[in-house]
Structures are given as structure tokens and as C-alpha cells.
Structure 1
Amino acid sequence: MTIATDKITYSFAEYLELEETAAYKNEYQDGEIVPMTGGTTDHNKIALNFAAYLKFALKGRKYNIFIGDVKLWIAQYRQATYPDVMLIEGEPIYYETGKTTVTNP
């Protein structure tokens, strides 16, 4: 027996609203909300070491480094994700008025 399911498509604004109260992180891919898998301790150590390396390598330069909890909105591809490590030259440019989603990695 086959069960037909309708694919639900969300706007980016709907995704952001749902993400505010979600129990876990989700990515947004062109209208689809995709749950993220949990990380491992090894994965976390690698991301932390990479971020620390960047911090020391770029000391005194105008770069900001963010890890894991800051969303990146890539409008051209209609995708939002949580990069493990994100490097931004200068100050972050935020999506609309919040400070949880940046647009300029």
C-alpha cells in the first residue's frame, strides 16, 4: 500500500518563525525545512580548533568568526544553514532586524 504525502512548502519568514521555538535546529532549502543531525564530540573539537586557528591567524584584522549557532541565509540559493565555522570580513550584515541570521559570510 502506498501512502501519498503532500510536500509542504514554507516561506523563509515562516521558517524563521518556526525556528524560534523549535526543539532542534533545522536547515531551510528552497521552501523545505530539513532537520539537522546531531554532532559528535570529534566534529565539535574539529570545528572549535578550526575557529581558534582562524582567530589567532587573523588577530588584528577586521574579521569576525562565528561557530554553530548563527544562521547563514544565502538568498541566491534560497537556503539557510548553520555553518560549523563562519568567517565574516568586517561586521555581520543581518537579515532584517534580528541578530540570529547573517547574509554576508
Structure 2
Amino acid sequence: MTAILQVTEQPTAQRYFTPEEYLALEETAEYKSEYLDGEIIPMTGGSTNHNQIAGNLYIALSLGLKKRNYRIFIGDVRLWVPKVRLYTYPDVMVTFGQPEYHNNRTDMITNPQVIVEVLSKSTKNYDRSDKFTFYKTLPSFREYILIDQTKIKVEQYSKTENKRWSYSEYDEEDTALVFNSFELEVPLSDVYEQVNFEEVEQENSQNEV
């Protein structure tokens, strides 16, 4: 009888990083990554629709909140969520008053009142579930806006009291997103200005081939 030698591959050990190591790597990295309790998670690249929507909302918020005690940030400003040890890059953030900086670094804040994420196919479930749970640990956080880039659909979660959130959904272009954290309405036509849904359909068709 011939003996059969079975070789089993040993699983590769997960490498964990300190926050300091992550920040040092992020300084020179070609692409952005999130950091979650020791793990570095590469972020997917953004589409033109993703970029357009985030820019549209940033402009609408900047104009609507002009000369009011709010600050608006987009893209490159990092958020630190201390209770879960998360560094991430929300698409848009709004703070009431001045931003509170983490470790005195002006590229990292800790006190957003409103967080906006433009959903992508690969991250939409994470944005709706775990990431929302992480954001809820921030004392300042009161409103979460999720924007679909493949069709007209905006989801809004607003904090009503301790651990209670209300939900609203917008899916018609002639309606307006009504913020609850401050008095401001943004027409969905402004949110989706110059967004091309045909590009998404073409991309999906190519992926199916």
C-alpha cells in the first residue's frame, strides 16, 4: 500500500498594526485605507458618479450653511472613532461649531454631527450596518445620510433621543432632502445634478459579459 502524504497549508497569520503604524503608512500610500482595531482595510476607488454626488452635496451644504456656525468637510479629512478604534474617510461630514481634532492633527476630526456616505456596490452593506453602528458611538453624531449612486434614492437616519433613530427615504427628483440637524432643504435634483445613471448600466452590462 502506497502511503499518501497530505500537505496542509498553514494559514497566514493576520498582521495587526498600531494606529501610529497605520498613519505612517497612510502618509505615503497611493490609495486610501481604513483602520479598524489593528487591521488596515483598503478602500475601493470612487466612480465619477460617486465623486459628483459628494461634490454636489458639499456645495449645497456650504452655500446653505454659509455664515452659520457649521463646518463642512469632504473626502480627505479623516474621522477617528475612539470606542472601536476606527480611522475612516466619510464622503461628507458636518460639525456644529469648530472641529475637534484628534492628537492636534488638522486632518483628523472626532465630532461630526452629520455624516454622509455615497453608497457603492462593494460597501453599501457595510455602510448600512457595521459602519453605522460604529458611528453611533460618537456623542456628537445625530444624522446619517446614505445616497445611492445608481438611482435616485436617499436614506436618512436622524437621532430623536438616546439610542432611538427615525428613518426617512427619498426617491423622487422633485422632492428635497430635509435635514433635521439644522434648517436646510436640498433638492434631490441638486444632489444628482450631472450624475449619469447610463454609465452605471453600461458598467453593469460589461461586468455581466
The TM-score by the shorter chain falls in which range? over 0.9
Please report how far the alpha carbon of residue 22 of structure 1 lies from its aligned counterpart in structure 2 after TM superposition: 1.1
Which residue does 2:92 correspond to in 1? 85
Report the aligned-residue RMSD. Answer: 1.2
Q: Distance in 1 between matches of 2:75 and 2:32?
A: 10
Which secondary structure state, in structure 1, belongs to the residue aligned with residue 83 of structure 2?
Answer: helix
Q: Which amino acid aligns with 1:75?
A: P
In structure 2, list runs of 5 or more residues that go unmatched: 1-7, 113-209
Which residue does 1:47 correspond to in 2? 54
Q: Deviations over 1:51-101 (max 9, x none)?
A: 111112212211111110010001012111111101111111111132211
Q: Which amino acid aligns with 1:10?
A: F
In structure 1, list runs of 5 or more residues that go unmatched: none
- Quick check: 1:69 aligned with 2:76? yes
- Aligned residues, how many? 105
Report percent identity of matched pairs.
Answer: 51
Which secondary structure state, in structure 1, belongs to the residue aligned with residue 105 of structure 2?
Answer: coil
Q: Deviations over 1:14-53 (max 9, x none)?
A: 1111111111111001110011110000000100111111
Q: Which amino acid aligns with 1:47?
A: A
Which secondary structure state, in structure 2, belongs to the residue aligned with residue 77 of structure 1?
Answer: coil
Query: Runs ≥4 in structure 1, deviation > 4 angstroms?
Result: none
Which secondary structure state, in structure 1, belongs to the residue aligned with residue 54 of structure 2?
Answer: helix
- Quick check: 1:26 aligned with 2:33? yes
Instruction: Name the structure with the higher strand share.
Output: 2
TM-score, scaled to structure 2: 0.48
Q: Which amino acid aligns with 2:23?
A: L
Larger radius of gyration: 2
Which secondary structure state, in structure 1, belongs to the residue aligned with residue 79 of structure 2?
Answer: strand
